[in-house]
Structure formats: C-alpha cells, structure tokens
Structure 1
Amino acid sequence: MSDTPALTADRVRADIAGLLGCDPAEVSADENLLDRGLDSVRIMSLIERWRAAGATGLEFPDLAERPELGHWTALLAGEKP
C-alpha cells in the first residue's frame, strides 16, 4: 500500500496552489492556470506527482489542452471531459 495521499479534489487544488505560491482557496475551478502562471515544467512536475499517487495514465496533453482546475479534477477522478 502506498503512503501517498489519494488524489482528492482538495489535494489537486493544494498541489496546484503550492506551485503557484498562493492559497488553495484562490484557485478557481474555471480559471486558466497558464494565465495564472503555471508553466509546462510545473505541469510536468504535477504529472509526475499525480502518477506516483495512482494516475498512471495521465499525460501532458491531458492537462495542457484544458488548463483548468475543474477539468483536471474531473480527469483525475476518472470522469470523461
């Protein structure tokens, strides 16, 4: 069993906020995270972190095509966009 916390919506928001240097409450579900300052290197670090937590099929285009918290949370929950 892994010691990595599950990929909950709160964890995803907190991971993103941590890279952006802001409070998780400041990241809205429909905000473009690239406009907010997230870049490709940071997206790749999120992908590696989330793969280690169980999202093994996650790929860069999955996140880069729609860089919004709500979309990413749905993807990680296994919902179809």
Structure 2
Amino acid sequence: MNDRPVLSAERVRADVAELLGKEPNALDPEENLLDLGLDSIRIMSLLDRWRAAGATVEYPDLAERPELSHWITLLTGEGAA
C-alpha cells in the first residue's frame, strides 16, 4: 500500500465544493453532502477524478457515509479540518 496519500484534504474539499457550486470553506465537514445536492452522478464524477489521481476508493465507500469528513479520511488518511 502507498504510504503517502495521493489526494490532499484541500483537493477533496475543493473538488466537492466545485460540483456543489460552493466555496470550499463553506462546507461543513459533518453535513450530509446528499442534503446539499450531491447526487450519484456527481459522486461518480468525483470518483473518476480521484481514481485518475490514483485513489482506490469505491462508490459504496462514499455513498454509505456522504460526509466530507469521512471522505477526506478515506481518501487521505487525514481528519477533516
């Protein structure tokens, strides 16, 4: 397994914010992203971006817990600030 994450917390936050049409710092890490308007098509779009960057996350990993903090932990190993 890679000992360095391929994505940063900032990148994950920025990518999600872009698809939601929000500023990255306006996202509450604990808020349900589906409630903010993220849908399955957008999640798949994010997955495509993140896989292209080397991430190995799967759709169910994101869909089961659609909170930014969880996604950041999955993708980077970091906590969401």
Q: TM-score, normalised by structure 1?
A: 0.85
User: What are structure 2's unaligned runs of at least 5 residues?
Assistant: 1-5
| Cα RMSD, aligned residues only | 1.2
- Structure with the larger RCO, 1 or 2 (CA within 8 Å, 6+ apart): 2
Q: Percent identity?
A: 67
CA drift of 1:77 comes to 1.6
Residue 3 of structure 1 corresponds to: none
> Which residues in structure 2 correspond to 1:58-73 (within 5 Å)?
58-73=57-72
User: What are structure 1's unaligned runs of at least 5 residues?
Assistant: 1-5
CA drift of 1:38 comes to 0.2
CA drift of 1:46 comes to 0.2
Residue 51 of structure 2 corresponds to: 51
Structure 2: distance between partners of 1:36 and 1:27: 9
CA drift of 1:78 comes to 4.1
CA drift of 1:50 comes to 0.2
Amino acid at match of 1:23: E
Deviation digits for residues 30-64 of structure 1, max 9, x if unmatched?
01000000000000000010000010x21100000
Structure 2: distance between partners of 1:42 and 1:78: 22
Q: TM-score, normalised by structure 2?
A: 0.85
CA drift of 1:21 comes to 0.3
After TM superposition, the runs of 4+ consecutive aligned structure 1 residues lying more than 2 A away are none
Amino acid at match of 2:8: T
